[in-house]
Structure 1
Amino acid sequence: MNLEHPRIAIVGSGAVGCYYGGRLAQHGHEVHFLMRSDYAHVKQHGLKIRSVHGDFELPQVYCHRRTAEIGQCDLVIIAMKATANAALLELLPPLLHNKTMILTLQNGLGSDDFLARHFGSTHVLGGLCFVCINRTATGEIHHIAQGQISLGEHSGAPQVRTETLATEFRRCGIECKVEPSLLTARWKKLVWNIPFNGLSIAAGNKDTAAILADAVLEKRVRDLMREIIETAGKLGHAIPLVLMDDMIERTRTMSPYKPSSLIDFLAGSEVELEAIWGEPVRQAKAAGMEMPQVGRLYEELKERIAAR
């Protein structure tokens, strides 16, 4: 595997996949995008990315309808919804050789283990994206705020390849840090995702600013965050309580933002219900613990989605 000049595939070319893949392509990497609905437009017109870190365009993009057209790659970045994971069993094999790195940028819990079961733990890395980003039109991405990736290995502690990959991401304008424990980092991200993605739907289609402008909802955000942090700690993933205040204050500084789950809900698309809300509740229950706050939100979301 060539870590200096890797051949890269993006599986899931929505807002997240196009932004991070676009950054890598902007800085000289050979990046192949698996595309469906945007294929014809991007093939002809390329990608346009508006970003707080500087706008850029990619007039020519390697885009494909099938992974068999792409062939073997050194790095496969998965940015599709976790709800579509079953499709990866067919999509990934044409992209893989015996040293391919599979980096999943998916939300919630469970995707790393799914990939490890089917393709081998030593191939799998996980990345957590802390980014506000939307697809605003065909072939157009709007990067609103943040953008850091926290990177970790499924099979244990960081390796040389983990550090090398993080260094290359930074060279390409992507803030990146290496996590000693991927699973701890995933629980840490849930501290934001569970309350803000969940309440944006359950509270009646509210953006982040509207949630924090409501004292009752802000209290609920804090109650959810505390429960997630305490549960994670009991599972062996120490997260400081001060993270609650840090995440809330950072969210206040953002412009009003519709979380990705709300966008999916309003569009009639699948919401990552199980990966973000269901799986944490199940993992806690398997360890003999209850998560009443998260469990209540999980049930509310199921009702809202069913009634949509």
Structure 2
Amino acid sequence: MGEISKIAVVGSGAVGGFYGAKIALKYDVSFLMRRDLEAVQAKGLKVESCDGDFELPEAKAFATTDEIGPVDLVLIAIKTTSNDVIANLIPPLLKPDTILVTLQNGLGNEELLHGLFPDQPLMGGLCFVCINRGEPGTIKHLAHGKVEMGEYTDMGVAETVFNLFQECGIHTQLWPDLGLARWRKLVWNVPFNGLSIAAGGIDTQQILANPELFERTKNLMHEIIRSAAAHEFEIDESFVDANIERTQSMGPYQPSSLIDFLAGREVEVESIWGEPLRRSQEKGVETPELERLYHEICDAVANRTN
């Protein structure tokens, strides 16, 4: 594995734009963009952050990966609802040793990428951050920002990527078991992203303030922990209270799935709720709250579309 110098961000929305911008302060980063393309090409990329605002006045923004060309590291942050385009988006960026890092939500992303690009080093990253997109060319970083990552392949690239993130001021934790890290992230994502939609478009503070939704939140968390255990990923039950306490400190935060839902965009239903439900059923784990929430979200999305 050679030295990393050129990096591409595929999916430069809130998550990809924020972490890509942090890295671009020290490295050559190219951003694949859609909505913000013209704004960033004209005025650069601005990050309004709780840790201090910064700008990339000459951010490299492109409409296609063919324009970017081969790089050393690819950060994949597109919504999982667009995973069907990955097979065509990624190849122009690849060299024999190009590292792929998916920062996507839910389950199944590493399996998909490894199936498409079996010879590439592959890692997964879980982003614990409160972040939204503002006007075109602007990202609003509200709180947190930690990335937990692990290697899916066994090619010895984890330390290299970890050190790069750390060098760029990103609080990063390296996990020897990426699968465990994925299920831990679901303990938060499943209830808060889901109930915010199912309960009619409310934020995390409103969820925790409602006794019924608070109880559902805890039940969903415990179901995910039981399902993880069935897959041999042990998560201590105390993780439930830790997540609730962390969420209380966020204030009235709108999860990313709710923002997508309210904006009429596709919601990552299958990767965040559908796939964990199917994997639970395969192991014979009863998850009635997860199944209920999955159907509520499917109905909400269908009714919104109609």
User: Which residue of 2 is the match for residue 95 of structure 1?
Assistant: 93
In the alignment, structure 1 residue 20 sits paired with structure 2 residue 19: yes
Q: Which residue of 1 aligns with 2:151?
A: 153
Residue of structure 1 in register with 2:80 after alignment:
82
TM-score, scaled to structure 2: 0.97
* Closer, same or farther: CA 19–300 of 1 in aligned 2, 3 Å: same
Paired residues of 1:149 and 1:177 also in contact (CA < 8 A)? yes
1:206 corresponds to which of 182, 202, 207: 202
The SS at the match of 1:297 is: helix
Counterpart code for 1:19: F
Q: Where does structure 1 lack aligned partners over 5 or more consecutive residues? A: none
Q: CA deviation at 1:287?
A: 2.1
Contact 1:152/1:162 (<8 A) preserved: yes
User: What residue ranges of structure 2 are gaps of 5+ in the alignment?
Assistant: none
Match of 2:229 among 228, 233, 241: 233
SS at 1:137 equivalent: coil
Letter in 2 for 1:44: A
Where in structure 1 do 4 or more consecutive aligned residues deviate above 4 Å? none
Asked if residue 216 in structure 1 is aligned to residue 207 in structure 2, the reply is no
After TM superposition, the structure 1 = structure 2 runs for residues 1-308 of structure 1, keeping only pairs within 5 Å, are: 1-3=1-3, 5-26=4-25, 28-120=26-118, 122-155=120-153, 160-308=156-304
Tell me the amino acid that sits aligned with residue 129 of structure 2: V
Q: What is the identity, as a one-letter code, of the residue corresponding to 1:43?
A: Q
User: Which residue identity is paired with 2:7?
Assistant: I
- For the residue of structure 2 that corresponds to 1:99, the secondary structure is coil
Give the aligned CA root-mean-square deviation in angstroms: 1.1
Decide whether the 8 Å contact of 2:66 with 2:93 is kept in 1: yes
Once the 2 structures are TM-superposed, how far is the Cα of residue 216 of structure 1 from its aligned partner? 1.2
C-alpha deviation, 1:160, in angstroms: 4.4
Letter in 2 for 1:242: S
Distance in 1, matches of 2:119 and 2:79, equals 20
Separation in 1, partners of 2:192, 2:75: 25
**What is the one-letter code of the residue matched to 2:175?**
E
Cα drift, residue 241 of structure 1: 0.6
Aligned mates of 2:121, 2:178 — CA distance in 1: 14
Deviation at 1:123, TM superposition (A): 2.0
Residue 121 of structure 1 and its aligned partner are, at CA, apart by 6.3
What residue identity is the alignment partner of 1:21? G
Q: How many residues align?
A: 304
1:104–1:126 Cα contact (<8 Å) kept = yes
Q: Which range moved further: 270-279 or 286-295?
A: 286-295
* 8 Å contact kept, 2:226–2:285: no
Q: Is the 8 A contact 1:132 1:144 kept in 2?
A: yes
Q: Indicate conservation of the 8 Å contact 1:46/1:139, yes or no.
A: yes
What's the secondary structure of 2:129's corresponding residue? strand
Deviation at 1:20, TM superposition (A): 0.3
Q: Is the 8 A contact 2:8 2:29 kept in 1?
A: yes
The one-letter amino acid of 2:16's match is: G
Identity of aligned pairs, percent? 50
Do the aligned residues in 2 keep the contact of 1:9 with 1:77 (CA within 8 Å)? yes
Equivalent residue letter for 1:173: G
Q: Structure 2 CA distance, aligned partners of 1:188 and 1:19?
A: 22
Cα deviation digits, residues 154-213 of structure 1 (max 9, x gap): 125xx6421121122111110001111111110000000000000000011010011011
Normalized against structure 1, the TM-score is what?
0.96
Please say if residues 100 and 120 of structure 2, whose CA atoms lie closer than 8 Å, have aligned partners that are also in contact.
Answer: no
Cα deviation for residue 290 of structure 1 reads 2.7
Deviations 1:265-308 (A, max 9, x none): 00110000000000011111122323211011001111111110
Once residues 231 and 66 of structure 1 are traced to their aligned partners in structure 2, the CA distance between those partners, rounded to angstroms, is: 39
Q: Contact (CA 8 Å) 1:122, 1:154: kept in 2 or not?
A: no
Give, in angstroms, the shift of residue 247 of structure 1: 0.6
Tell me if structure 1 keeps the 8 A contact 2:230–2:283.
no
Aligned equivalents of 2:182, 2:240: Cα separation in 1:
15
